[in-house]
Amino acid sequence: MDLSLTPEQKLLQDSVARFAAEHYGKRKRSPSADPSDGFDRETWREIAALGWLGAGLEERNGGFGGGPVETMVIMEGAGKALMSEPLLATMVMATRLLVETGQSADDIAPLLAGDEIITAALADRATGTLTLARGGQGAVLSGREPLMPYGDAADRFILAAKAEEAGETVLISLPAQASGVSRKGFRTLDGWPAAALAFENTPVSEDEILARGQAADRAQSIAADHAIAALCAEAVGIAQGLFDRTLDYLKQREQFGQPIGRFQALQHRMADMFIALEEARSLMIMATMALTGPEGDSRQRTLSAARLGVLSRTLHIGREAIQLHGGMGMTEELPVGAGFRRLKTLDLIFGGEPPHLERVAATYRQ
């Protein structure tokens, strides 16, 4: 057992931290207050050029032979800097869906190069509203996808639709410019970009279908496993950033003639935040290690447990960070509120807490 990073993984960690410092170091405002901060295609290309998008992929898929630990390192660093590029939706979710549906390295290459932005929904309710029906020439897609991350900027979407006749799930990769697609962009709770998509008899060709039935369900389930571990890492990174900021603030902010960090009441709250952060990091590692083991119910249960534990702890840190910053924590001048908003967003995706709690708690029915 060795839970430390390899020298290569440490280099990647440094590279993420350096990039974040260069691109996000001076940012004070939250993404919602500054539209240009929402998502920038040039930054995305730089990220791709650094090799992050393929860092967690095996070589046969066009990656660099890394795995879940590399993804964890990137997501944690990105979370710490509150980077708002589509890492979770594209690097993790869309890429994993493509890999698990057997797309070739050539098919995935444009995504990994940053040339094509492909996003996939994170809300875990995508199968409800989209239907794929027989049309005049072939299949046509109709319905709504109410919350597609980066929906306005994406070049391509991966969508889960229900096939009208067979009732099975169909995973579709569709260009954003396809006919009959309309999109309306908006910001989400975290200030990040998303769009509501509507499809009206959008033609879907056979080569745009990634998988059907069990293969589609399996790909979705595995992609969700990877996304949940990545989400844990992002949350830990955000919490680390909030924690560091709050600790600095306690050392600098003076009230009643001394730094507020001298007050034991605040020291103890900070110590509890520190413990919560360490425990969240432990559960993040548990989640990442689960991805190196066999697929299935047991792995999903472990990931759900990690997700619940990480978010309860990191959200605690988020709430405390605002409280200990006082009025300043409420403003968009500091990214404290933005971190909290992103944490709460992470808490609400993939079904929110209830299905994960149900999955872990079900064991205690016996």
Kindly list the residues in this chain that would bind another protein in the complex (CB under 8 A).
1-6, 9, 69, 247, 250-251, 261-262, 264, 267-268, 270-272, 274-275, 278-283, 285-286, 288-289, 292, 305-306, 308-309, 312-313, 357, 360-366
The full DSSP string for 172-236 is EEEETT-TTEEEEEEE-TTS-EEEEEEEEEEEE-GGGEEEEHHHHHHHHHHHHHHHHHHHHHHHH
CB of 139 to another protein, least distance (A): 42
> Least Å distance between CB 64 and another protein?
16
132-166: burial string, b at 16+ Cβ within 10 Å, e else: bbeeeeebbbbbebbbbbbbbbbebbbbbbbbeee
Which CB, 6 or 214, lies closer to another protein?
6
Radius of gyration of the chain (CA): 21
To another protein, the closest distance from the beta carbon of 294 in angstroms equals 13
CB of 341 to another protein, least distance (A): 24
Query: Cβ 328 to another protein, closest distance in Å?
Result: 19
- Asked if residues 233 and 79 have their Cβ atoms less than 8 Å apart, the reply is yes
Return the number of the residue (114 or 261) whose C-beta is nearest another protein: 261
- Residue whose CB is less far from another protein, 161 or 305: 305
Q: How far is the CB of 346 from another protein (least distance, A)?
A: 17
Q: DSSP per residue over 80-121, as a string?
A: HTT--SSIIIIIIIIHHHHHHTT--HHHHHHHHTTSS-EEE-
Q: How far is the CB of 225 from another protein (least distance, A)?
A: 16
Closest CB to another protein among 214 and 267?
A: 267
174 has which bridge partners? 157
CA distance 323 to 304: 28
Q: Measured between alpha carbons, how far is 276 from 265 in angstroms, rounded to an integer?
A: 17
Rank residues 189 and 362 by Cβ distance to another protein and give the closer one.
362
Please say which residue, 189 or 275, places its beta carbon nearer to another protein: 275
Kindly tell me which of 2 and 207 has the beta carbon lying closer to another protein: 2
Nearer to another protein (CB atom), residue 178 or residue 270: 270
Kindly give the pairing relationship between strand 258-259 and strand 209-212: unpaired
Query: Which tokens go with 140?
Result: 């046509």
Residue that is written with structure tokens 């447990």 in the block: 305
Q: How far is the CB of 69 from another protein (least distance, A)?
A: 5
Tell me how crowded residue 304 is: count the other CB atoms within 10 A of its CB. Answer: 23
